[in-house]
Amino acid sequence: AKAAAPAAPSKDAAAAAPEGPELVTLRGPAAAVAKNMNASLELPTATSVRAVPVKLLFDNRIVINNHLKRARGGKISFTHLIGYAMVQAIKAMPTMNYAFGEKDGKPTLVKPAHVNLGLAIDLVKPNGDRQLVVAAIKKAETLNFFEFWQAYEDIVRRARDGKLTMDDFSGVTVSLTNPGGLGTVHSVPRLMPGQSVIMGVGSMDYPAEFQGTSQDTLNKLGISKVMTLTSTYDHRVIQGAASGEFLRQVANLLLGENGFYDEIFKALRIPYEPVRWLKDIDASHDDDVTKAARVFELIHSYRVRGHVMADTDPLEYQQRKHPDLDITEHGLTLWDLEREFAVGGFAGKSLMKLRDILGVLRDSYCRTTGIEFMHIQDPKQRKWIQDRIERSHTKPEREEQLRILRRLNAAEAFETFLQTKYVGQKRFSLEGGE
């Protein structure tokens, strides 16, 4: 037993054990990031800052994602919209895409042919370590929003799968980073050589003085969440006035100017108009009472004319609208979307937010089926129809979806049999009934 026992470490071995920090050589992307950070110290940069209300950004994103949920699927993030606004602002101000370079030892202004938007992607390794990579969406100014969205998702997907190539990292002219997703309020990122500007996006939250206020009070007062945008630029080729104008352009686009959201809705084939930016309407107590009546007028308008906005043509996209279905025509604005109104049993509820009311109305009357029934004289018959169509959409269970698929397959197989067995015979086809 004594022979099997391990020998105690000697004093010399203990003295030889290394002490101090562990040294790990950086390799691959981590080494490239460190090298780029050192190179960035040579750039004389400055930073402009602008606060932007994000109420309209929130509202239109909700409309977009609600439509996508019922249509092609997918989800739009805030960064998709902000990145696209950044590209459009640079497209309107090409000087923000210019970089500094040297030719034959002389300072040179570099004018790239395209806007190559670099996306700062934070990758989390299985061991918890983080790695930052910046990959580019090439020729971003030539893409509509749908194409930009798909290119963005492709870059992020390949980054997480470790399938990015060297071409994805090269040629970046401007960059976008979004530390706001981690709660950072304000960021001044580093600018890489060869780039002209990097825009940082801060977190979206209510101003500090309102963060202890109840949500109901915030809705009544019309207080919007705010995000901070920063523009860090190469001061050798871009001046502060241009950077400030660039941020103003981005802010105006996010507030719906120059048809920004209209273009996005068109690219995604959303058949109705986006939410518009308007100032809140001052309302006294009497106005609040009459506002509830205007909400009932809006509901009635959708019942009477909602079918004119239905997307009933699968071959040709058209953005449909009607004045009677516009909330602004009823004295309502985007600030009322989060406010509750008495609805007297509409969709089975007594109180609903205007946003939820519009969601039910659009799902009921403005999708791929046009419904017109208010000409019916019998109120019981009208009520019977309303109860069955004015309800929130519930996605069928998986088993029900599979049952529908099996019945569709059976119907298609029967159709194929008939047209093969009885060629040229007159029959009433199921074609289109799917």
Q: Is 235 a catalytic residue?
A: yes
Place of tokens 């061991």: 127
> Does residue 119 sit in helix, strand or coil?
strand
Decide the pairing of beta strands 197-201 and 174-177.
Answer: parallel
Task: Tell me how far apart the alpha carbons of residues 32 and 194 are, in angstroms, rounded to a whole number.
Answer: 15
Exposure string of 67-79, with b = 16+ CB inside 10 Å and e = fewer, is: beeeeeeeebbbb
CA 379, 384, 388 angle in degrees (round to 5)?
Answer: 145
Other C-beta atoms lying within 10 Å of the C-beta of residue 235: 16
Place of tokens 């403005």: 366
For residues 219 and 351, the answer to whether their CB atoms sit within 8 Å is no
Token couple for 45: 């940069």
Per-residue H/E/C for 67-91: HHHHCCCCCCCHHHHHHHHHHHHHH
What is the DSSP-derived secondary structure letter of residue 205? B
What is the DSSP-derived secondary structure letter of residue 341? E
Token couple for 356: 């939820």
Backbone angles phi, psi at 77, to 5 degrees: -95, 170
Catalytic residue among 67, 114, 235, 307: 235
Task: Tell me how far apart the alpha carbons of residues 197 and 239 are, in angstroms, rounded to a whole number.
Answer: 11
Q: Mind telling me the catalytic residues?
A: 235
